[in-house]
Chain A
Amino acid sequence: MGKLKTIARRSFIIGSAAIVGGVAFGVYRYKTPYANPLLNDLSEGEAALTAYVKIDASGITLITPRADSGQGAYSVQAILIAEELDVELDQINVDPGMPDKAYYNTALGADGAPFAPTDDSFAANTTRTVMDSLMKFMGMQITGGSTTVPDSYEKLRAAGAVARETLKMAAAEKTGIAVSDLTTKAGKVITPDGTEIRYEDLAAIAATLKPVEDVTLRDPSTWRILGKQHQRFDTVAKSTGTQAYGIDFRREGMVHAMVRTNPRRGGEMISFDDTEAKAMRGVQKVLPITGGIAVVADNTWRAIQAANAVEIEWGTAPYPAEMDGHWQALSDSFNEDQQDSRQRDDGDVVAAMDGADVIEAEYRAPYLAHAPLEPISAVVEVSEGRVDVWTGTQIPRFVQTNVSKLTGVDFDDVHVHVLMMGGSFGHRLEDRVVKEAAEIAMQMPGVPVKLTYSREEDMAHNDTRQIAMARGRGTVKNGQVETMDLGIAMPSVVASQMGRQGLSLPGPDTQIVAGAWEQPLSIPNYRITGYRAPELAPISSWRSVGASTNGFFHDVFLDELIHAAGADQMEERLRLCWHVPSRKVLEKIAKMSNWGAPLAPNKGRGVGFCMSFGVAVAEVVEVTNTDDGIKLDKVWVAAEVGKVVDPNMFENMVQGGVNWALGHAIMSEITYSDGMTEQENFDTFESLRMYQSPNIEVAGLENGDHVRGMGEPMVPPAAAALSNAIFAATGQRIREMPMNKFIDFV
């Protein structure tokens, strides 16, 4: 990053790809950016300088198209723009804008390419840029894959700079003073005699000018805002109950709906009896929808009560009814026919294990619900030739497409208004709730329909984290790890998820081996093989996706091998790691945790390391084996992100993500019986609570060349570090989650 200081307006529109590689710049099939979406919707006197900055007489609005599900994405995007625009954070409004293909996500495509993030070769960078082009073709405005920061880091600063320079041109025209004699500060252009002209007062002139084409990004040493601690835009609202979420949205004349569809996912509805429901107070209608029914009432609670009173006979599930069948399908997938990828095959694992003492282990990870605390909801209003959708979503363009197809209303006449989300963790990469709300709204034209899932319906219809299994074989020699051969089997998350959008996945699914194959280790004989299990229950991206299971498998097996070699867990990991920024992460965590210092009796420590989404993260977990079970004492986290945009947000997100990972590893699972999820609510789908939350110390490192996002990478190493710590404290090796099936926790 930062090698190309001058960024043409054309190139920042096509994004950071030109910066990451430098090599493929200019080979795009597109050189012309998408038309600026703000130009379509401007009132007189408004000037849209770029797709990210809007200025009119009433103020300066920064458009932050990546969705905010609690990670502070709006604030991070605003910090990047404001740094170059020369505005203070309290001077601006933040608006997610309307979905548009100009807001496509380049970084997400880059991570889908089959090159390790540590691979800076020509081929790797060339392919990444091809993937970027694909993302652009598809116009994917997606929030996901920890891409908000990497996607925005150059693009939004450039947008701020272009806007600033164009405003200076406008001031030059207004005053007759040369641009080179003008400066900017706090939302104003300042002339040599100290006269201040508000940006708002220059908007009209700026609108008539051809925007500045080339800008130079400022040197990091001059940054005023970026890298410093700020109060998030939403902190006061979220501390006073005044933040409105999707579920709080209301329209005049709105009705409330609740749906029931087959809890045996994908099964049919055979019959239903709504006699009782229709007679209940406040119930207006019981309507058919795809695969089930909807109850429309005058209040959310009444809709939920009445929907539950409908008697429905459901068909069978298209996947095994019991968990044994799911595990068997995975177990049966370790064969050549189902081999999906083998992107790492160093040395000769077969020869190395011939006649040697082979260490073997099998690992399992369960289905998991996303279960953000805000149940999903959507408001849809179908009127003459127009549809409006209000919802919290990570995929507004897909929502727009799907609602257009469903209603027959032109794509451009479907208006998706993205609302604040009470958590997501990947849940809102699915849009079933919107389609169902649209189906109801089509039957009630002119009436805004709000569909709110009950927690039970949300849990029953969650497209969960994948179920996964791994088998490791390895050898050690002369106190060192010599061979590691890890096979991982899971159904394809990406195929399941894209399938629901009517898309297919060409080629292997890199998520099957993500968090394992790209680890920067030089084990002499080292092989990672992905096996594609058949499609089972619907699955989707759950915070850190493939790496959420594979980070656990890979690093616990490595821990077993290092233990067998008789080596120190930290020293051997350092010896094996060739990637300098990753080594610094391990060195940092060893120092922070004072690794190797004597521990009190019954205490144990484990280290976990995983590179995912290009971020190297090491964690040390310390536990005590008490009479009441395992107690989490302390966690240390070090992560290489290139640049910490806001240290305050960074710390909060990392601590929360570690709690998320540990809580699920200890106590959470979704299981199927009779084809239905057995967990209906937070009483059975348990979640970490305050008394279980450890002290968590966080360090963000800035040694690498690439700026990365931190929404997910703290998750994969945490469960491994915990399992490794429990082994150190008790001698018991836990190879399956949730771990409380095997050992008690306080």
Chain B
Amino acid sequence: MKITVNGTQHDIDVEPDMPLLWVLRDELGITGPKYGCGIAQCGACTVHMNGEAVKSCQVAAEDIDGEVVTIEGLGTPDAMHAVQSAWVEHQVAQCGYCQSGQMMTAAAFVLETPAPTDDEIDEAMSSNLCRCGTYPRICAAVKTAAKNLSEA
């Protein structure tokens, strides 16, 4: 089976029902997407598939369709995506374990919603859990990212 992750094509030999999350983490060594619940409740595993934010723990290997982008493909420490820069500017992270997923959800959201309201942010981001409770800063960072992207 061939899949493309962050612009690189990989050959994988896995069971058809192995979740994309574990293909990424254990087969390809791409550890930005995190395991938190395995049942689409926490969103720590969120990646983009064909530009859409999806919970990679719920995508079976046989259903991988189109290019996969993980947090590592969104931007790097030397060339950050607008969402990542906003996360740094607001110093959102405490433990940080959920933040890869939060940023992937946010990155897809701000493309569709360039000037989000608080209610829209609440709705878009509430599928991602943060046990440290950094929601006030996530909300602020989403706004900053949306603003910077729409002005770019």
Which A positions have Cβ atoms within 8 angstroms of B? 69-72, 231-232, 234-245, 247-248, 250, 256, 281, 299-302, 304, 371-375, 421-425, 452, 454-455, 648-649, 652-653, 655-660, 663, 681-683, 687-691, 693, 695-696
Contacts and interface: CB of A to CB of B under 8 A. Distances in A.
B95 A299 contact: no
13 contacts: A232-B91, A235-B91, A240-B71, A241-B31, A373-B95, A423-B94, A423-B132, A455-B38, A652-B137, A656-B130, A656-B132, A660-B132, A683-B41
B99 A238 contact: yes
B96 interface: yes
Contacts of A423: 94-95, 97, 131-132
B144 interface: no
Given A239-B84, A373-B44, A648 B91 contact: yes
B4 interface: no
A72 B94 contact: yes
Interface of B: 15, 18-19, 21-22, 25-27, 29, 31-39, 41-42, 44, 70-72, 74-77, 80, 84-85, 87-88, 91-100, 103, 121-123, 125-126, 128-139
Contacts of A424: 95
Given A236-B77, A242-B32, A247-B35, A691 B126 contact: yes
A641 B152 CA distance: 42
Contacts of A658: 133
Given A241-B72, A243-B96, A682-B41, A70 B132 contact: yes
A231 B91 contact: yes
Given A242-B32, A656-B133, A235 B93 contact: yes
A659 B100 CA distance: 20
B28 to A, nearest CB: 11
B39 A373 contact: no
Question: Top 8 closest A-B pairs, CB basis?
Answer: A70-B95, A659-B133, A241-B32, A422-B97, A238-B96, A241-B71, A656-B133, A693-B135
Question: Which of B87, B92, B94, B136 has the most chain A CB within a 10 Å cutoff?
Answer: B94
A691 B122 contact: yes
Contact of B22 (A236, A238, A300): A300
B129 A373 contact: yes
Secondary structure call for the B interface: loop
B77 A234 contact: no
Contacts of B22: 299-301
Given A373-B129, A425-B131, A455-B36, 14 more contacts: A237-B77, A241-B31, A241-B32, A241-B71, A250-B29, A301-B21, A372-B95, A373-B36, A374-B34, A655-B137, A656-B94, A691-B123, A693-B133, A696-B136
A231 B88 contact: yes
Nearest to A231: B91
Nearest to B132: A656
Contacts of A301: 18-19, 21-22, 26
A244 B92 contact: no
Contacts of B74: 241
B77 A71 contact: no
Contacts of B19: 301
Contact of B98 (A373, A648, A659): A373
A325 B85 CA distance: 52
Nearest to B25: A300
Contacts of B139: 690, 693
Contacts of A243: 96
Contacts of B132: 70, 423, 656, 660
Contacts of B85: 239
